[in-house]
């Protein structure tokens, strides 16, 4: 800089220009990111709404000919709800208990460190590999066949690390003061955890669990390898192939008929609605809790 | 030395056992994944009549099974890298936009938009890619091919739209939110004092960002990029719908080529014989190892950064 | 109810770091004992050994002997959890349980330690809040969150919570340092009242407060940087503040260091 004492000079033109160019680029980046989202949402709504009717929500694809219109995704929606529900039932308890172990009991033990490491590894497992594992273990080695439950197993492997990590984060946010206050009352550690620490972290944990559920609800690849696929309603997740909504979309999108592609769009719309609803609920819970924190 | 012995409270023992047990279950699952994938892959690998690592074609269902990972691994890596190259600048721009440019009110809402982008299931992107994007890109591809075909990258027959490039575009859209979200997080953590110091020196906003935000955020952004890369490599359904499932190793990214380990599993699973399934499982193992390496690298970078920022605190 | 505490040759460690060394003292029942001394000399550490809260910290442990009346607190078959039920504690920063109402906060110790009937709980909550001089201020909003009270009220709530489990000893670690003068006075009055029923130990950095509320005072000091803290002397509060035996005590009290 030149010495110009006490004179307010304008920033040089080239520097201002650079600043402006970057501003433009940053805006452009944002636009570029948003355009596909709008395009996807717009097309899903536009193409999906046509078949988003009562028949779609209440009928399966049984006895629907290759070129026929009509038919629906009832079997797939039912399957998805069952599979995701079972996956949550498996992964949430294991995930929460693991998080409690890591935060409250693990301290710096070797076991805790290796669990933590492998939870990280698990986070990075591609969903298709989780599907392959359940295929190898459940279907091929144990010979238990394709079923909704096999799909739930694969989904729970994908959910577990998310649940552990988010619960862990929430438990660590609970101030140590509260634990000490409880110990000082002569409350045993496990009751301190279940009655003081856990309730304090509860809404945060629920938010994390909902987000984890929303994430696996849209998974297709693991289902493809484990629940197989069917056009009929199968209410029993423990026996025989089922359908899942993401799988339904994949299946219909590959069929060469316009009627099938229409159903794929509607399936996608339904799937997005379910996932967004789960996300919304999670955010509402988080939002509902946050103002209380300050008070 | 005495240990904290809460041994007398009934309930303490069972509860502690349950939590430790859950942790051990996680370890057991990881071990089981490795063991069962390997166990089911071995018979197929033994039946293979060509080199699993060097072979390009994939005919494990034939009476003389012949399959190799070469073309698939190449497709996985090239399509993911291409996706990363496209997504990274945009993601950094988006992250900067949210952390330093957007009005404060808007920033929160935009963060949600990014999360929303991340929440769209991959099969939806796949559907969008097949029905909308493939016809849409045929024009631009033909243009590139006509005028820039002398560049090897754009050579080949580019009229189909089903190509490595199209898959990469979809992958880029899919990994953009995660890279943007992590980058935003690290940009927001840049020490305010440093930012204010550079503004006080008379820096413009861009100079301030270049001087104090970007250097601080670099390791975080690099690891975000690696995590994104890992995601792209494992992504299955969207690319299974888009790639034409060829088994070539080619850099002609606009031509009617493209495949990946994950896409091959999704597409080949339906008609796989036991050997075929074993072959797919073997390829899944390779995918697992590749993503593990990428993710571990990302985590090491993050861990290093944490140490650094703690020292600075 | 109130009990005497006898400490002999007590050392406390954080991992391999020895924080306090060779503490021997007797804490009289039905009286207030104040701990004073420069920052880092181990007052809190020592206080926390008295109800075995020290060992909650990973790697922390204790050597030596503490007798409560005739029971060895560190005896082989003593459950630390039950020790803490007998020796209660109030912390520097008020820490009501955020998910609980005022009522539930006071009843927490009772409920988490075993089942009690609703009417029993109501009775104990009322007497505890009255003993803590808080009843009149909160009796109309017992179901509101405890975190909604002012800092001074929260601290009294924590005292009520501590005395609800009817301990024999009450340990207080700088209970007023986060409070305004008026709330401080309220707590000091409360301490004066509670000493009729409890053995009270209070850590404070406020010399006037020590002089006002305590019957006996113990002065702790560090022998040097990185060395463990030690008990320098302990005597009647009036004696410590007017005519201490040790030079270090006099220097500290008159503000020449610390
Ligand atoms: N959790 C801990 N881990 C390791 N060392 C600790 C821990 N808590 C305290 N110490 C160390 O033990 C020594 C005594 O600390 P303590 O908190 O008992 O001092 P204090 O007299 O209460 O100080 P203050 O008046 O500031 O509260 C100090 O050297 C401190 O650094
Ligand atoms: Mg202290």
pLDDT in tens, C195-220: 998 999 999 999 999 999 999 999 99
Residue environment code for B112-132, b if the CB has 16+ CB neighbours within 10 A, otherwise e: ebbebbbbbbbbbbbbbbbbb
Q: Which of C56, C61, C79 sits opposite B2 (nearest CB)?
A: C61
**Mean pLDDT across the stretch B31-57?**
91
Q: The tokens of C181 are what?
A: 């003068």
Q: If you take atom 18 of ligand 1, which residue's CA is the nearest one?
A: C42
- Closest approach of A99 to chain C, Cα-based (Å): 18
Instruction: Outline where chain B has alpha helix (H).
Output: 12-47, 70-96, 104-119, 122-128, 134-148, 164-189, 192-200, 205-208, 214-234, 237-242, 261-268, 274-312
Name beta bridge partners: C231. Answer: C220
Neighbours of ion ligand 2 (CB under 5 A): C 44
pLDDT at B110 over 50: yes
pLDDT of res. B312 = 40
State whether B9 and C61 contact (CB < 8 Å).
no
Residue with tokens 């490595």: B164
Average confidence (pLDDT) per 10 residues, chain A, 295 residues: 57 82 90 89 92 88 81 92 96 97 90 93 92 93 92 96 94 92 92 93 89 91 91 90 93 88 94 91 78 39
Task: Give the C-alpha separation, A135 to B281, whole Å.
Answer: 9
Q: What's the pTM?
A: 0.88
Is there a contact between C96 and C142 (Cβ–Cβ < 8 Å)?
Answer: no
DSSP alpha helix (H) spans, chain C? 43-49, 80-86, 102-113, 118-131, 135-138, 151-164, 181-194, 207-213, 237-242, 247-253
Q: Among residues C218, C238, C240, C215, which one has the least CA distance to residue C229?
A: C218
In chain B, what are the domain boundaries?
Answer: 58-308
Interface of A with C in 119-178 (CB under 8 A): 175, 177-178
Q: Phi/psi at A114 (nearest 5 deg)?
A: -75, -35
Expressed in angstroms and rounded, the spacing between residue C229 Cα and the centre of ligand 1 is 10
| Chain B residue with Cα closest to A127 | B234
- Chain C residues with CB under 8 Å of A192 CB are 112
Q: Which helix (H) or strand (E) holds C9?
A: strand C5-14
Which of C108, C120, B307, B125 minimizes the C-alpha distance to A184?
C108
Output the CA angle A271-A272-A275, nearest 5 degrees: 85
CATH code, residues A72-293: 1.10.3720.10
Nearest CA in chain A to B39: A136
> Quick check: B5 and C74 in contact, CB under 8 A?
no
Give the pLDDT score at A63.
Answer: 81
Q: Point out the residues of chain C with pLDDT beneath 50.
A: none
Give the pLDDT confidence of B280-292 residue by residue, as tens digits.
999 999 999 999 9
Using CB atoms within 10 A of its CB, is residue A264 exposed (0-12), middle (13-18) or buried (19+)? buried
For chain B, percent of residues with pLDDT exceeding 90:
46
Report the residue from A180, A195, A202 with minimal CB separation from C53.
A180
Pick from A177, A182, A188: which is nearest to C93 by CB?
A: A177
Dist CA B276 CA B59 (whole Å) = 8
Q: Is the pLDDT of residue B7 over 90?
A: no
pLDDT(B299) > 90: no
B9–A190 CB contact, under 8 Å = yes
Domain ranges for chain C: 5-95+169-253
Per the CB < 8 A criterion, the answer to whether C28 and C42 are in contact is: no
**Ligand nearest the Cα atom of residue C41:** 1
Ligand nearest to the CA of C46: 1
Question: Who wins on pLDDT, B193 or B9?
Answer: B193
Q: Which of A177, A184, A192 to mutate to test the interface with C (most CBs of C within 10 A)?
A: A184
Q: d(Cα B226, Cα B297) in Å, to the nearest integer?
A: 7
Name the residue ranges covered by the structural domains of chain A. Answer: 72-293
Q: What is the mean pLDDT of chain B?
A: 87
Disruptive mutation site among C55, C56, C113 for chain B (greatest number of B CBs within 10 Å): C55
Among C192, C196, C193, C212, residue whose Cα is nearest residue C204: C212
Q: Burial letters for A206-232: b for 16+ Cβ neighbours within 10 Å, e otherwise?
A: bbbbbbbbbbbbbbbbbbbbbbbbbbe
Mutation choice for ligand 1 from C12, C44, C46, C92, CB with most ligand atoms inside 8 A: C44
Which B positions 7-26 lie with beta carbon below 8 A of chain C?
Answer: 7-9
Q: Per-residue confidence at B2, pLDDT binned at 50, 70, 90?
A: very low
- Give the model's pLDDT for residue A9: 66
A205, two tokens: 């944990």
User: What is the residue whose two structure tokens read 């299955």?
Assistant: B236
Q: Are C157 and C183 in contact (CB under 8 A)?
A: no
CATH of the domain spanning C5-95+169-253 = 3.40.50.300
| A239 vs A283: CA distance, rounded Å | 35
CB C208 within 8 A of CB C201: no
Two tokens at A51? 């078949």
| C219 CA distance to ligand 2 middle (Å) | 14
The 3 state secondary structure assigned to B51-102 is: CCCCCCCEECCCCCCEECCHHHHHHHHHHHHHHHHHHHHHHHHHHHHHHHHC
Which residues, in sequence order, are CB contacts of C225 under 8 Å at separation 6+? Answer: none
Range B58-308 classified under CATH 3.40.50.300 = no
Q: What is the pLDDT of residue B253?
A: 84
The band of B6, judged by pLDDT with boundaries at 50, 70 and 90, is: very low
Q: Classify burial at B272, counting beta carbons within 10 Å of its beta carbon; exposed 0-12, middle 13-18, buried 19 or more.
A: middle
d(CA C40, ligand 1 centre) in Å = 5
Nearest CA in chain C to B4: C55
Nearest CA to ligand 1 atom 28: C40
d(CA B181, CA A287): 19
Cβ < 6 Å from ligand 1: which residues? C 14, 17, 19, 37, 39-45, 57
Distance from CA of C233 to the nearest CA of B (A): 28
């Amino acid at each position: 800089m030149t010495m110009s004492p006490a004179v307010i000079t304008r920033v040089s033109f080239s520097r201002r220009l650079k600043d402006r160019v970057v501003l433009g680029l940053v805006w452009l980046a944002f636009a570029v990111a948003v355009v596909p989202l709008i395009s996807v949402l717009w097309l899903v709504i536009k193409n999906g709404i046509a078949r988003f009717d009562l028949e779609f929500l209440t009928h399966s694809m049984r006895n629907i000919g290759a070129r026929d219109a009509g038919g629906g995704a009832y079997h797939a929606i039912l399957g998805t709800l069952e599979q995701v529900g079972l996956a949550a039932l498996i992964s949430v308890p294991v995930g929460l208990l693991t998080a409690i172990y890591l935060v409250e009991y693990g301290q710096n033990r070797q076991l805790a460190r290796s669990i933590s490491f492998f939870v990280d590894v698990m986070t990075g497992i591609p969903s298709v590999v989780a599907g392959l594992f359940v295929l190898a273990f459940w279907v091929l080695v144990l010979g238990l066949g394709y079923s909704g439950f096999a799909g739930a197993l694969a989904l729970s492997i994908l959910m577990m690390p998310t649940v552990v990590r988010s619960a862990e984060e929430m438990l660590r946010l609970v101030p140590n003061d509260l634990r000490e206050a409880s110990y000082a009352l002569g409350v045993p550690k496990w009751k301190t955890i279940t009655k003081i620490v856990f309730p304090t972290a509860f809404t945060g944990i629920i938010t994390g669990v909902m987000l984890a559920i929303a994430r696996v609800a849209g998974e297709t690849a693991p289902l493809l390898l484990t629940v197989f696929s069917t056009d009929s309603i199968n209410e029993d997740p423990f026996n025989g192939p089922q359908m899942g909504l993401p799988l339904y979309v994949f299946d219909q999108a590959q069929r060469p008929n316009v009627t099938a592609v229409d159903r794929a769009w509607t399936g996608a719309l339904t799937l997005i609605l379910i996932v967004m609803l789960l996300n919304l609920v999670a955010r509402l819970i988080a939002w509902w809790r946050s103002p209380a924190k300050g008070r | 030395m005495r240990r904290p012995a809460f041994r007398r409270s009934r309930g303490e023992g069972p509860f502690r056992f349950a939590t430790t047990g859950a942790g051990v279950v996680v370890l057991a699952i990881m071990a089981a994944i490795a063991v069962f994938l390997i166990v089911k892959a071995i018979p197929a690998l033994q039946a293979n009549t060509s080199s699993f690592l060097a072979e390009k074609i994939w005919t494990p269902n034939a009476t003389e099974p012949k399959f190799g990972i070469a073309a698939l691994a190449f497709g996985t890596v090239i399509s993911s890298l291409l996706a990363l190259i496209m997504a990274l600048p945009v993601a950094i721009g988006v992250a900067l936009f949210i952390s330093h440019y957007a009005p404060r009110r808007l920033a929160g809402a935009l963060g949600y938009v990014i999360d929303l982008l991340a929440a769209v299931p991959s099969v939806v992107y796949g559907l969008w890619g097949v029905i909308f994007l493939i016809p849409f890109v045929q024009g631009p591809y033909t243009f590139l091919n006509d005028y820039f075909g002398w560049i090897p990258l754009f050579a080949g027959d580019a009229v189909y739209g089903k190509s490595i490039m199209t898959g990469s575009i979809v992958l880029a859209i899919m990994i953009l939110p995660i890279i943007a979200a992590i980058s935003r997080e690290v940009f927001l953590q840049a020490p305010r004092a440093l930012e204010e110091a550079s503004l006080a020196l008379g820096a413009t906003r861009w100079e301030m960002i270049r001087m104090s935000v970007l250097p601080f955020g670099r390791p975080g952004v690099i690891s975000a990029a690696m995590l994104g890369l890992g995601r792209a490599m494992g992504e299955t359904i969207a690319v299974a719908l888009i790639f034409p499932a060829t088994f070539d190793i080619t850099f002609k990214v606009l031509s009617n080529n493209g495949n990946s380990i994950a896409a091959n599993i999704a597409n080949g699973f339906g008609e796989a014989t036991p050997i075929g399934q074993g072959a797919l499982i073997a390829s899944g193992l390779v995918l697992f190892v590749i993503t593990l390496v990428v993710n571990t690298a990302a985590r090491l970078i993050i861990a290093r950064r944490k140490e650094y920022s703690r020292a600075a605190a | 109810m109130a009990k005497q505490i006898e400490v002999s040759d007590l050392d406390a460690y954080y991992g391999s770091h020895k924080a306090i060394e060779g503490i021997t003292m007797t804490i009289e029942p039905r009286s207030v004992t104040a701990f004073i001394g420069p920052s880092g000399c181990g007052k809190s550490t020592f206080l926390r050994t008295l109800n075995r809260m020290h060992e909650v910290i990973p790697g922390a442990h204790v050597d030596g002997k503490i007798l409560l009346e005739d029971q060895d607190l560190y005896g082989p078959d003593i459950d630390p959890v039950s020790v803490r039920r007998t020796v209660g504690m109030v912390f520097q920063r008020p820490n009501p349980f955020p998910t609980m109402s005022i009522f539930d906060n006071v009843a927490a110790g009772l409920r988490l330690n075993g089942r009690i009937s609703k009417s029993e709980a109501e009775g104990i909550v009322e007497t505890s809040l009255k003993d803590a001089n808080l009843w009149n201020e909160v009796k109309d909003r017992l179901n509101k969150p405890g975190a909604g009270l002012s800092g001074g009220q929260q601290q009294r709530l924590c005292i009520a919570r501590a005395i609800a489990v009817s301990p024999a000893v009450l340990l207080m670690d700088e209970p007023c340092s986060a409070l305004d003068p008026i709330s401080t006075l309220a707590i000091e009055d409360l301490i004066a009242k509670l000493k009729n029923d409890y053995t009270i130990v209070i850590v404070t950095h406020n010399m006037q407060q020590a002089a006002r509320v305590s019957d006996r005072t113990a002065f702790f000091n560090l022998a040097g940087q990185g060395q463990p803290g030690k008990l320098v002397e302990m005597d009647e509060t009036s004696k410590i503040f007017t005519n201490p035996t040790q030079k270090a005590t006099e220097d500290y009290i008159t503000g020449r260091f610390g």
